[in-house]
Every structure is written in C-alpha cells, then in structure tokens.
Structure 1
Amino acid sequence: MFYIQPPRGVLAFNTLTSCIDTRIDYLELVYDNKVDSFEGNIEYLFEGSKYDRTGHFTLRLLASASNDLWAYWVTRETILLEYRLGHVSQRQIHRMFKNIQNSVESTMEYDPLHAALHKISTFFLQRDIFSHIIGKNHSNYCEDYSVKLKFQTVPDLIKKRLVDLREGDAIIFCSRWKQLIKSLFKSLLWRDKANLEKGCLTNTIKSDPRLNFIHQRIELRLMKGGQIGNSRITVNNIDSEVYNFPLCMSHLHFTLRRLHRLSHNARFYYSLFLKDSGMTVDESLVFWRLEYSQPHTCTCSCSHNWQSDTRRFTYSIRHLYGLEGSRKNYNTPNCSVICNNTNGPRYEGGCPFKSFDRDKLKELLRRVMKQSNMDSYLDTFSKQKPEVACASFLKSQRMKNIDNTFINSPVQYYQLMKEYD
C-alpha cells in the first residue's frame, strides 16, 4: 500500500502491459469516485500483491520522465492510498505499518524521511495506540496520543494547519494519522523522482524498447486531448485560472485579452499550454473563436479573423490535439526552448525572467501579486537564473517550501500551483 521497496521476479511483457492498463483504469475511477464501475481484472490490484507493486513501481518510473505525467499520476496514487485507508480491514492497516517498519529497517539509506516513517510506524504499532486509532468511535478531533516529527517532513500538513509547531517540531495528533500517512507518501514519491532524475534512470525508458513502448502508449492515451492532469481549464474559468499560470503564459493571456490576437509562435505555445493543462479541444475551439472574432488593434504579424479563416483555425487547433493530419502528439515547449527562442520585434512571448526589463516585469507582476510581496520578490530576483526566479515566484505565490524544486516546464508550474491549492 505504501510502496517503499520494488518487487522482485519476472513478469511476462503482456502481463505487465495488462497490469499497467488496469491500474490506470482503476486510478481514474477512484479519482472520479466511480470505483463501482470497475470491470477489469481485480487480481492486478490486490493490495501488496506482486501485480499491485509491479504496476505502481513501473508507473513510478515511467511517470518520472515527464513532469506532466508525474503530476497526473501522483495525484491519483495519493487518492488511491486515501481510498484504501478508508476501506481496508484493520489487519491490512496493521500490515501496512509493519511493512513500512520492515522496509525502512532493511534499506541501506536512512535519511530524515525514512527516520520519520520508521518513527510513525513504530508508534502506531503499539497495541494500545493501534486499537485506539482504528476504533469505530475514534473522534476526528482526538488528541489522546501524538507523535513528534521534524517539521520539514510534513510541509503540506503545516500549510493546512493540521499540526502543532513546538520548537521546530511538528506535533501530529492521533486523529490526523491518515493525513500523516498521505503526507509522507507524497514526500516519498517526490523524493524518489528526484533520485531517479539524479541517477539518470529515466534514460532507461528510452533505451529499453519495452519500457519505451509502454511509455508512448500511456502518453498517447492520457495526454491526447488535454486529458492529463487534475485540472480542467474552460472558457468560463480561464480568467481566474490565469493566476495559477507561470508568468510566461499569464503574459500571453493578458496580451490576448487586450489585443485579441497573438503572433504565430505565441499562439502556438499558448494553445499547447492550455491543451496540456486540461483544456479540451472543444473548449479550445470556443476560446479562440471568441477572441479571434473580435476586432484587433495589435501590430503583431497575425491579422487573421475567425470569420474568414474558420476552417484554417479549426484544423490548426485539432491538429495540435492530435486529431488531424499526422496525428502527432504535440507537447508544450519546456523552459529551455522558451528561454532560447529568438524574440523578434513583434513576438510577445519569451521568459519574463530573462527577456523582460525590470519595468516590464514589474508591470506584469502588479497584475498577479500584492505590492508588498512584489517588492520583496524583486529584491531577490536573479535575472541570470530564470528557472530559480520562477521557482521563487511560485514559492511567493503559495508560501510553500519548495527549496529543492526547479521549474523546467510551464505545465509543471501550473500543476504545482494546483497541487498546493
């Protein structure tokens, strides 16, 4: 259930693909609260079985190669854990704590996260405490027992004010034990992603034809049509969602709303960002039709209008979603591409942290943050490192401890903002 150690043994390739497909189906049903509609092979999902663990760890590896896929997968795996904690037997919960304890003790590394896992598993395995937390009458506000952890290990619980802070330690009461398990599970997944990237293990996906095949199938299935992610950007909510966008994309949105046109590359990048962030093809068609049906006063190279170019615009948008032409799956350019893109005199895009002067950056910041926060942020702004500046901006917007996070994709930024909501 908690997945600390990967499984061992051999599994036939067709069984592996079926196991992964089944898990994705189930994760989506759990996410949509439609578990009763599941019609797949439940054997692949028995908690703690070799199929359950294989499906999880294979998807963990495959998802780590893409920030968008990772955010999609982590959200659903966390919800699956939450669902299981509310539906499994007392024996299974006891076994989960015991497996956490044994897995941590047998591992070679013993970092603060592993120390926290070992401490809480040992704590909750005490007979009196375990009987207390799984009792039917256990109150959601009970403070009879508590465990003390370093505050750095549970940042999201601190943000939600679910702990007491005392001299640098987080005090978690027994009534919050499920939230604690969920928090440490997410921390474990994000730490492992960093380790996979550091060890370049994601290159295994490209070099192994079997893993590469599965990875492409997953991306085609989940990313086509803007289905990936836990967000749904629509025509009705985009003007509020824009405050969760990275500055490079919020700038394009504000420019589009003001001038009703964007140059070709800017429109291309913004369309892909909306697609990969959750806007469906139908919503995209409506969004761009509403903008390009209005008269424009811009000086960019685009002077088209929807009325005279309906077929051209419709085909272009559907093509970006992989529904026309070669049916290629286009993805939002990463930060490196956006930063290195040559800015022509009429190009509205680019990375604000690299391409904008201080006055232009301040003008954009005024639209998305308070004056006091803006002044404080600009004092630490580093124009030489746009990825650091972007991560710092994210932190200032959500007041989240993300010191080890680097932004390398506009979609990654948006997914992180939504995760911290």
Structure 2
Amino acid sequence: MLFSGRRKKFGTSIQTELYVQPLQFYGQPPLENISLSEFETFAVDRLKLLKTVENLGVSYVKQSEQYSKKLDSELKTLNFPYRSEVDDRKLPGGPSESEKRRKDHISHFILRLAYCQTEDLRRWFIQQEVDLFRYRFNGLLSKQKLEFLHKNNLQYDAISLKEKKELKEKLVSSTYAISGITVEDQDFYKVPFQDALDLVRTRKVYLKEGYAYIPHQDIVTIVLNDFRTRLSKALALTARSLPAVHSDERLQPLLNHLSHAYLGQDYSIQKNVGKISLEQIDSLSGKSFPLCMRQLHQALRENHHLRHGGRMQYGLFLKGIGLSLEQALQFWRSEFIRGKVDGDKFDKAYAYSIRHMFGKEGKRTDYTPYSCMKVILSNPPSQGDYHGCPFRHSDPELLKQKLQVFKVSPSGIVQIMELVKGMHYQLACQKYFELTHNVEDTPFSLSHPNQYFSESQKLLGGGGGGKELKREVDASQRSQENSSSRGFSAAQEAADSEHEAEMTKDLNAFFEDV
C-alpha cells in the first residue's frame, strides 16, 4: 500500500523528525509503502485500543489509577507507545519505541479513512482519540510537554521562578487546587486568554493583561481543544477524498468494514445446532435475549409477521444460538400462518429465504449473525420495522417505557439513558445485561447479540440449553481466543458482505412485503 510517492524523502527524515516525539498531533500523513496485511493489522489493533478507551471511559473515572493501569496494559499488549520514559532501544522479542510510534501514526490515519464517512462515526472517533490523547499527554514528563507545545507552535512558556514568587498570592487565590506550599513546585504557563476560554469561563485561572496563567495540570485542557479542532477539520477534509480512495478495489472493502468491524467470536459456526428447542424460545427470550432480539421476538408473537430486516436479524440470531434449519422452518411457518400468510404462500415466498440463510440454497454460504456494530450502523428501521438497536434507533421516551416494562429499576434506567445520550449504545446494552442479571462489572466487552445470549446462559448455569450447550459455548470461545490472537480478517468480512448482497439480490421477489 502506497500512501504517497515520496517514499525516499520521507524515509530519510522519519526517525529524526516525526517519530522522535512520543506524541503528535497527526498533522503529517504517512508517506511510505506498507503491505495490505500490515494495513489491516494496524487498523484492527487501533480499533481494539479505541474500543478499550470507550469501555474504560464509562467504567472508571478517567485518569484514575484503575483506568490508567488497564489502558496502559492494553497499549502494551497491542504494541502502541505506552510509557514516556521508554527510550528507542528494542526490548527482547518486541518492537522498538520508534516502531511503536510508527504503528500509532499509520493506524490513526487508516481509521481516519474508515471513520470519516458519517457524522456518528466521526463523533465517536474524535471522542476516543481525544481521550487517548489526554491519557498519553498526561503521561509525558514536564520537559516533553514543553517540547511538544513548541513543536506544534503552541508557544506557551512556563513562567520564571521570579515571576511565580511575585504572583504567588494571586495564583493561590485564583487557581483551583493550588496552595501556598504547592505553588512553588508547580509549573505555570502564560497563555493568551482566548486560548483558555474554558478555564476562564469556570474561573479556574488568574488573568492579567490579556494572559491567563495556567497551572501544569490544566495545560492539557488547552492542548485537547486544539487537538479536537484539528482532528475535526482533518476528518472533514478526509471525507472529501473518499471517492478517490473508494476507487481502489483493494481498500474499499477493508475500509467499509472497519467502521463496523466485529472482532469477536464467529457465531456462524454451527456447533450448537439442535441444542435449543422451539418450546424454550419464549422462556429464553425473557431471560437471555438482548433487548434487540427480545423486541423482535415480541413483535413476531404479536403480529405473526416480520419484514425483511427483522427476519434477517432475528433469523440469523436464532441460527447462531442453535436453532436447526428444520426447527427454523417450523418456527417461522407456524407463526406466519397464524397471521395473514397461509401455508402455500409461506412455502413459496419465505421458505427459500430461510434455507438460503442456512446455506442450503444459492451460493450455499454460512451466513453470519449480525454483530452489534452491524445492527447499529446498517439498514436503520423505518415505520413498521422492529429490527435495529433499541438503544440507537428508539425514541428515548419509548425506550424508557420499554425498560420499565422489562422491570429495569428507575436508577438503572437513568444509567442506561446516560449511556444512550453519550452514544455508547453497546455499553448501554451491557448495562442492561448487568441490571437484568444482577451482576456488576461484567468481565467481557459486549459486541454481539449472540455473545449476550452465551454470557447470559453461562451466568444462569446453561439454563435453556443445558450443560451440553454451556460446554459447546465455552469450547467455541476458547477456539475464538486462539484465532483472535492470529488477527481479524476484514477481507473475509468483505466476502461475507458480498455474499449477503448477492443473497438479497437473488431473493428480492421473496422479500417484498405488501
């Protein structure tokens, strides 16, 4: 993969200019050749890192000891820069600090391409990158922070000890969390007041002759505002270049899937076929179905029909939890004929699509149950539809009513709605899991409806599928842990999407709803 044709010029100066600093504003794009394999690996590792940043941001107080410890561990595991005092020496068996900074740089720009496509994606990407930047900036030494400011034309010089002593009384009385004892050990930066409006507005700094005196711990506020502004503008510019990028048939499928890539277990592998009986579905829907599938099941039972989007989302979920083809045909047929569809019409218009879903028709592809990101980002529901993510697509008041009906406590509803307001839809679903299962701090990061079901069954002792189902789920997860260490294949995801598009094309006649 060639980012630009000026590889030689870039290669000679990259170590001495771009990667000499432990942190950057990502103003200079990468200009070197990388392979598609490295392109994919870097992108997926950064996506994993940003997902961790999001999860930690709502589970712990940002910059707290637990938050920092867990994020530091993730940075270390994924080979990103994680400690400012580490020099450029290569540790035994691992990449050098310069190689980590190169990965950090390139991976950021790859995800820019993937996450500039919509407003929701840009907003999510900016928030996670800002939180990551804050953590890493706070980890810099004082000297490194000053070097960073100067390198990025943020001319904020620390005031001299003499000036600090002269202004000591003013600094103590006007600056938050500064005492007469600590002021002499604290660096203060003299900043034009218009660059520190957030701190001025909250009256946290001393103002004099058009300048704000910013304490060391608050300079990050100024830098973050600058970083956010630059990144927002850069994403807007990147979005304009997308048509040229999408013309590259190698990159288009990779970028399209990175924005809603699923990095967990492959639930298309039918190891649990036949472990769920039709008689158990109603009971399981109330105990172990995520809200999106519980909503679809309820709508199907009440209306005896689901439109195409709902049938695809719910049908593949049922397949993933162990419903066999024969059971699926029986389940959908018995429900539809209770409505306005007679047996002959079902056999002609719907049975083929169910067999296709199980890989028995058309290209005979084992179609994958939808991940959370796919449910959230693709095919939004319209009037009369019941698919999609309730936390993303429901009116807030209707969502509150639904949660009340499902016996979620008032305080729990407040917590969920706060996450929804912050657009943390998967975390809202995870909170729903915790509240409905009476657990705290679940040890997993929710990213798939079928994962929700599996974790619920494990917690409930395998009820609904018995111990045999529980053993199958555990074995499947162990297998996935081994495979995930070898990396995620976006190319395979692209192939799945192509198969799904072909499936939809082949079945238009069957999926038309009157």
Provide the TM-score with structure 1 as the length reference. 0.43
Larger radius of gyration: 2
TM-score (norm 2): 0.36
